[in-house]
Amino acid sequence: MNSTMKIAAITILLFAVSITDIPIPDFPNLEVELVSEAHAILGVRRRTRRRTAVVAYSAGAASAASASAAAASSQQQAAAAQQQAAAAEQEAAAAKQQAAAAQQQLAASQTASGVPIGTVVQALPAGCKAVTVGNSQYQDCGGSFYKAAFQGNELIYVVVESPL
């Protein structure tokens, strides 16, 4: 009889150990009491191993997720660099257009003799004629008009647009 009792006791213990891993649905009449010392619960060692494996798997998944996040971040940085390069190219093209427009304005501002407006000279070229328009006096030198001005104590002539 002792051997049958031992077999029954072992069977009951094995059954109790096996049902500790089965999740129990929430029943309103079933009360669960927490035990303060975990080593008093049957089957703790086996569950701890399983939890360790789950934690190790979770850590691996987290490192894989962080690696994929780093890859996505580097792709975003590459896209931002491409956008900056495109913006720089657009700015360079705009600067070229502005330079071309400035050259056209400079060419348009040159008088018939080819002297740009705003040029300052110390002496008038030969063959200039005095022209008075309003209360201002100009020097007409072959289609370029000069106006007398002072720079400090020195008399200079500045090329201006045609007052006529």
Residues 117 and 141 placed together within one structural domain of the fold: yes
Describe the strand order of the beta sheet including 154-160 as a list of residue ranges.
120-121, 154-160, 144-151, 136-141, 129-133
Residue pair 156/122 in contact (Cβ under 8 Å)? The answer is yes
Residues 100 and 149 placed together within one structural domain of the fold: no
Q: What one-letter code names the amino acid at 77?
A: Q
Tell me what pLDDT residue 35 has.
Answer: 56
Tell me what pLDDT residue 155 has.
Answer: 93
Q: What is the residue whose two structure tokens read 């093209």?
A: 93
pTM of the full structure: 0.35
Residues 155 and 77 placed together within one structural domain of the fold: no
Residues 10 and 23 placed together within one structural domain of the fold: yes
Tell me what pLDDT residue 100 has.
Answer: 83
Among 84, 108, 132, identify where a domain stops. Answer: 108
Total number of domains constituting the chain: 2
Among 108, 128, 143, identify where a domain stops. Answer: 108
Q: What is the mean pLDDT of residues 92-103?
A: 86
Residue pair 119/161 in contact (Cβ under 8 Å)? The answer is no
The SS3 of residue 149 is strand
pLDDT in tens, 124-153: 988 899 999 999 999 998 888 999 999 999
Domain containing 123 equals 111-160
Residue pair 124/139 in contact (Cβ under 8 Å)? The answer is yes
Q: Which of these, 68, 164, 73, 57, lies nearest to 112 by C-alpha position?
A: 164
